[in-house]
Amino acid sequence: MRARLAILISCAVAAPVLAPASLSAQPTNEQLAARCAQLGALYDRYNTQRGEGSSGPNLARLGAGIDCQKGRYEQGIKALEELLQRTRIPYPPAG
Task: Pick the closest to residue 61 from 53, 45, 71, 28 (CA basis).
Answer: 45
Mean pLDDT of successive 10-residue segments in the chain (95 residues)?
50 47 75 97 84 74 96 97 94 90
Q: Is the Cα torsion angle 11, 13, 17, 23 positive or negative in sign?
A: positive
At 23 the pLDDT is 54
At 67 the pLDDT is 97
Taking the whole predicted model, whether its pTM rises above 0.85 is answered as: no
The answer to whether 83 touches 64, Cβ cutoff 8 Å, is: yes
